[in-house]
Amino acid sequence: MSERPRLRVTIDGTLPLAIQPAAADVDALPPAGPGESVTELAPSAQDRAHGRRRFEVLVGGWRFEAVVEPAQQAALRERAARAVAGQQAHAAISLRAQIPGRVVRLWVAEGEQVEQGQRLLAIEAMKMENEIRAPQAGVVRDLRVNLEQKVERGDELLSVG
Amino acid sequence: MTRRAVGAGVVSLRKDSERRGPPFERVLVANRGEIALRIIRACHELGSQAVAVYSDADERSRHVRAADQSMRIGPAAPAESYLRVDAIVDAALQSEAQAVHPGYGFLSERAELAEACAEAGLVFVGPGPETLRGLGDKLAARATAAAAGVPIVPGTLEPLAVPGDDEDRLRAEARRIGWPLLIKAAGGGGGRGMRRVDSPTELGAALAAAAREAAAAFGDRAVYLERYVERARHVEVQLLGDGRGEIVALGERDCSVQRRHQKLVEEAPAPGLTADQRSTLHELAMRVARGAGLSNAATAEFLLTPDTDFWFLEVNARLQVEHGVTELVADVDLVHEQLWLAAGRPLSERVRAAAAAAAEPRRHAIEVRVSAEDPAADFAPAPGTIGLWREPGGPGVRLDSGVEEGSPVTTDYDPLLAKLLVSAADRPAALARMRRALAEFEIGGLQTTLSFHRWLLEQPDFVTGEGLATDLVSRSWQPAAVLPPAALRAAELAAKAAAAWSPAPAAGAPASDTHDTAAERWWRQGVAESLERRP
């Protein structure tokens, strides 16, 4: 079997979310069941230019628009955006868990100086790791979680500032 | 308004079998959306022709196609179409309709339409203009109820204007009534111009805000005060009157599941009441109706306090959005009855029998309002175009809607898309049926309240009926608790679809393209590059 490129799926809205599962993991996921449906939406010219595809997904009465694109391309675009944003001083930003899960990686300690975009910790939920990075350069404060700790959505993790 | 009197006096002895032929040859339906379609269906069942009216926004909508004839009444804005008395009356005269059914909302409780109909020789399907005027004035209705010996929610009995001389009196009255209290618009309803005040320090600002809202919504800045009853339920009684003094109650509905004073879910009967309590409630409602000289259909609304006291709130002198749950329990078609009553016929045997049995109902019905609103964003309107529309079906399911795939949903009108109703032998069976029907219902293209309803049907407060109260939603609805797992699952399904399906052909209509900025949000960068390193 030939190597399939990893995909990035982003969902916008009230509680934005992104995943980047390995192809094998995607294959293992259960298909759409009752009350779930997926429709591909017509791509815009910009979507086509960037190789993005757009899906409407209905789950449990919620409607989501998901954008799917090659992961490498998304990473390049984000790096460029970070470079533009530059290094500016910001007030402390408090980070909360966006999904419930378990802290499986912790790369920083209280009081540590971090750069913008630096990896802080990762939360695993439903076989997916969600890595959390520093939104800005600063010092890690109020670190409230340990490795293997379970977190609920909305739990405070730490702040950077 | 003078009604067609059919052999006054002996009329009430007539049998239902004398209802031969249609009540009217042609009925103009002065509304849009699901309620217009629902009334057109009733007309057709009775052998009457139905005339639809439409604004430019609705030219191709379902209610227009369902009607035998349709008349354009103006541009999309309601004030230039569905709210124009002259346009409605002209359309009725031009189409040679004999009667005008106003539905709910729009002009349904406007005495001006009832009067204009009478002047034009048309029958208005609803109470007469004097009754509409009397009941439309919420304070006059409170006074009517009090005079009929019906307990009312403690508060003020006359309109007081702010800012102005009345402000000192309002402050004094507020102290007498106690906290928390509600400021309400004397001229309105539907939650607009309504403000909860928890302490004296908030009163001044709340009065000013409520008066502004009232002035904007109803052209009248007068307000009144009512005690706010904590943990109260909202119950209401369906009434029918023949205009000659006979009034019946067809049972009650519980409409406690609300947000911002607007109903989301209704059911009949109200859970947890004894037959005696039901009889008491129905009797109170009939007393108000007699006092107001009610004819045709109306609903008397009450607060049910934690001490099981019924306190009168107001009368809605029209068909209610939620009339269907009563129809399913009482086995009566309220729109049929409205048309027969408007045609001067007496209350039918079927209606009398249903009223006699109303204190001991043998079925249970639940309705959920499916609206184009985002429950995760405080139920903000979510306009769009309906892309996918898969209706539930099967035993005991009724769906009243006015939309279909391709229907545009704009902010010009109410966001209500459909009313999903179920009925069953008892409440647990109705709840199970509703859960099943909700799981079948799929709507794409825009966000609806389906997600909220699916959550609600799992909440012990609602399922047991013990947590029913008007603050149930504000107390317990936390979309953040249910949205993330759904979003994650949606992302997985999108990944699966992208992997399995070849890309869509480069087709015409471009999808909305607003994702770039949001996609740059910082935390998205955190999406597992580490995943790539995972074995």
Is the per-residue pLDDT at B414 higher than 80? yes
Give the pLDDT band of residue A126 (cuts 50, 70, 90).
Answer: low
Q: How many beta carbons lie within 10 A of that of residue A148, not counting itself? A: 9
If you measure CA to CA, which chain B residue comes closest to A15? B484
Look at chain A and report how many structural domains it folds into. 2
pLDDT of residue A90: 57
Cα gap B211→B196, rounded to integer Å: 13
Query: CB-CB: which of B445, B449, B503 is closest to A53?
Result: B503
- CB-based contact B334:B238 (threshold 8 Å): yes
* Nearest Cα to Cα of residue B18 among B358, B343, B505: B343
pLDDT tens digits for range B331-364: 999 999 999 999 999 999 999 999 999 999 999 9
Q: How many angstroms separate the CA of residue A132 from the nearest CA in chain B? A: 5
Query: CB-CB: which of A16, A59, A136 is closest to B486?
Result: A59
Average pLDDT score over residue span B293-309: 96
**What pTM value is reported for the model?**
0.81
Q: How many angstroms separate the CA of residue B449 from the nearest CA in chain A? A: 7
According to CATH, the superfamily of the domain at B233-481 is ATP-grasp fold, B domain (3.30.470.20)
Q: How many angstroms separate the CA of residue A24 from the nearest CA in chain B? A: 10
Cα gap B219→A129, rounded to integer Å: 56
Q: Where in chain B is the domain with CATH 3.40.50.20?
A: 11-125
Q: Does A125 touch chain B if contact means CB atoms closer than 8 Å?
A: yes
Class of domain B11-125: alpha beta
Average pLDDT score over residue span B74-92: 97
Give the pLDDT band of residue A104 (cuts 50, 70, 90).
Answer: confident
Residue B442: HSE in the Cβ half-sphere, 13 Å Cα cutoff: 16
A102 is a domain residue: yes
A81 is a domain residue: no
Q: How many angstroms separate the CA of residue A80 from the nearest CA in chain B? A: 10
Please return the burial class of B528, using the count of CB atoms within 10 Å of its CB with bins 0-12, 13-18 and 19+.
buried
pLDDT of residue B18: 61
A55 and A14 in a common domain:
yes
Per the structure block, which two tokens stand in for B463? Answer: 């399922």
Active site residue B475: no
pLDDT of residue B16: 61
Give the pLDDT band of residue B514 (cuts 50, 70, 90).
Answer: very low
Per the structure block, which two tokens stand in for B63? Answer: 């209610």
Is the per-residue pLDDT at B2 higher than 80? no
Is the per-residue pLDDT at B286 higher than 50? yes
Q: Which ranges of B241-392 does DSSP label H, i.e. alpha helix? A: 275-292, 323-330, 334-342, 349-356
CATH number at residue A131: 2.40.50.100
| Long-range contact pairs involving B172-179 (C-beta distance under 8 Å, separation at least 24) | B173/B225, B174/B200, B174/B203, B174/B225, B175/B200, B177/B225, B177/B226, B177/B227, B178/B227, B179/B228
Lowest-confidence region among B144-153, B436-445, B507-516: B507-516
Chain A residues 24-43 with CB within 8 Å of chain B: 26-27, 29, 31-32, 34-43
Cα gap A14→B484, rounded to integer Å: 10
Would you call A20 and B484 a contact, using CB atoms and an 8 Å cutoff? Answer: no
Q: Where in chain B is the domain with CATH 3.30.470.20?
A: 233-481
Distances (CA, A) of B489 to A37, A134, B233: 11, 26, 36
pLDDT tens digits for range A133-147: 888 888 888 888 888
Give the pLDDT band of residue A99 (cuts 50, 70, 90).
Answer: confident
For helices B129-136 and B275-292, the axis angle rounded to 10 degrees is 120
- CB-based contact B317:B241 (threshold 8 Å): no
pLDDT of residue B486: 94
Is the per-residue pLDDT at B17 higher than 90? no
pLDDT of residue A2: 52
Give the pLDDT band of residue B527 (cuts 50, 70, 90).
Answer: very low
3-state secondary structure (DSSP) of residue A67: strand
Is the per-residue pLDDT at B192 higher than 80? no
Chain A residues 50-109 with CB within 8 Å of chain B: 53-68, 71, 74-75, 77-78, 81-82, 95, 98-100, 105
Instruction: Find chain B residues with C-beta within 8 A of A29's C-beta.
Output: 492-493, 495-496
A93 and A133 in a common domain:
yes
Q: How many angstroms separate the CA of residue A112 from the nearest CA in chain B? A: 19
Q: Does A156 touch chain B if contact means CB atoms closer than 8 Å?
A: no
Q: Which of B32, B133, B318, B454 is catalytic?
A: B318
Cα gap B308→B304, rounded to integer Å: 6
Could you tell me which residues come within 8 angstroms of residue B366 by beta carbon, excluding any fewer than 6 positions away?
Answer: B265, B266, B267, B325, B421, B422, B423, B430, B431, B434
Give chain B's end-to-end CA distance (angstroms, integer): 82
Is the per-residue pLDDT at B184 higher than 50? yes
Instruction: Find chain A residues with C-beta within 8 A of B516's C-beta.
Output: 46
Is domain B154-227 classified as CATH 3.30.1490.20? yes
Position with higher pLDDT, A51 vs B505: A51
A145 and A95 in a common domain:
yes
Q: Which domain holds residue A61?
A: 7-72
A120 and A63 in a common domain:
no
pLDDT of residue A12: 79
Instruction: Find chain A residues with C-beta within 8 A of B487's C-beta.
Output: 11, 13, 15, 17, 59, 62, 64
Is the per-residue pLDDT at B409 higher than 60? yes
CA dihedral B476, B480, B485, B489 (to 10 degrees): 120
Query: CB-CB: which of A13, A38, A99 is closest to B493?
Result: A38
A98 and A49 in a common domain:
no
A119 and A151 in a common domain:
yes
Would you call A9 and B450 a contact, using CB atoms and an 8 Å cutoff? Answer: no
A150 and A116 in a common domain:
yes
Q: How many beta carbons lie within 10 A of that of residue A93, not counting itself? A: 14
Phi, psi angle pair for B296, to nearest 5°: 60, -140
